[in-house]
Amino acid sequence: MATTQEEYPVPVNPFWDDIRYPTARSILQAFAPDDDAEKLPIDSKSKLSSHEKLELLHTLLRNRLSQAEASSAPDTLLSADYETWYKIHTAIFSAQKDLGDAGAAETTLRTLFENRRDKENISLLQSLHWMLLERGSYEEVVEQEPRVVEWLDGRLGKNSPQALGSRRMMAEALWRLGRTAEAEARFGEIRELVQCTVVRMLSIGMMRWML
């Protein structure tokens, strides 16, 4: 399996085969470089259910966090080693999400967002809002998502998939709150943006064909 500097190979064995690749990779990143997959106290031939495996990994991650915090004393891990703090919390979030513990996953994601190093980057806020939408917390999505829309428009453009997805999230939240007129206006804006994108792509294709 090809890897980058920020990735670690996921073993191919009965234990890891049941874990989603993004989650497995995130968890292994949280333990590197101190430990690799072979050093973790897990049975590679384990017959545990995928849920039980995730619970075990979540416990190991919590232990890893406690050890890292202790090693950073008297400073906090967050202030002493942000990269390690971030990797461990990201892995914990992935495990919590796959375990179906939406409440804990939301809390961890909020912690990641509130303590992000680049305060200008609010991409995690969009991830949080997708979770809130799934959980029915529509009011917060409607209140906060315009900030994400503006941020994405300025960096990626209104026609970008991310910006369109953010608008769709807003429209759905408005619709579920019964604010149908506002939701329909949002959906109309999305259709116009998509149509403009299609027309532009067709025009570019026609020009290339003529040349």
Domain of 130, CATH number, reads 1.25.40.10
Nearest to 171 by CA among 148, 141, 140: 141
Residues 34 and 99 in one domain: yes
Which structural domain range is residue 96 located in? 1-117
Residues 158 and 106 in one domain: no
Q: pLDDT tens, 60-109?
A: 999 999 999 999 999 999 999 999 999 999 999 999 999 999 999 999 99
Residues 2 and 77 in one domain: yes
Distance separating alpha carbons of residues 103 and 125, to the nearest angstrom: 16
State residue 197's pLDDT score: 64
Residues 185 and 93 in one domain: no
Q: What secondary structure does DSSP assign to 25-59, as a single string?
A: HHHHHHHTTT--GGGSS--TT----HHHHHHHHHH
State residue 206's pLDDT score: 46
Using the 3D structure, point to which of 101, 117, 133 is the last residue of a domain: 117
State residue 202's pLDDT score: 45
Residue pLDDT tens, the chain, 211 long: 333 345 568 889 999 999 999 999 999 999 987 666 678 899 989 889 999 999 999 999 999 999 999 999 999 999 999 999 999 999 999 999 999 999 999 999 999 999 999 999 999 999 999 999 999 999 999 999 999 999 999 999 999 999 999 999 999 999 999 999 999 999 999 999 988 765 555 444 444 544 4
Residues 75 and 145 in one domain: no
What's the Cα-to-Cα distance from 86 to each of 78, 103, 128, rounded to whole Å? 8, 19, 16
Positive or negative, the Cα torsion across 5, 84, 16, 134?
negative
User: Residue holding tokens 């299609």?
Assistant: 198
Q: Are 166 and 145 in contact, with CB atoms under 8 Å apart?
A: yes
User: Residue holding tokens 């503006």?
Assistant: 150
State residue 39's pLDDT score: 80
State residue 208's pLDDT score: 53
What's the Cα-to-Cα distance from 98 to each of 11, 19, 91, 205, rounded to whole Å? 19, 9, 11, 42
Note every long-range contact of 73-80, with CB atoms under 8 Å and residues 24 or more positions apart, other chains counting: 78/115
State residue 1's pLDDT score: 34
State residue 37's pLDDT score: 67
Split into its structural domains, the chain has a count of 2
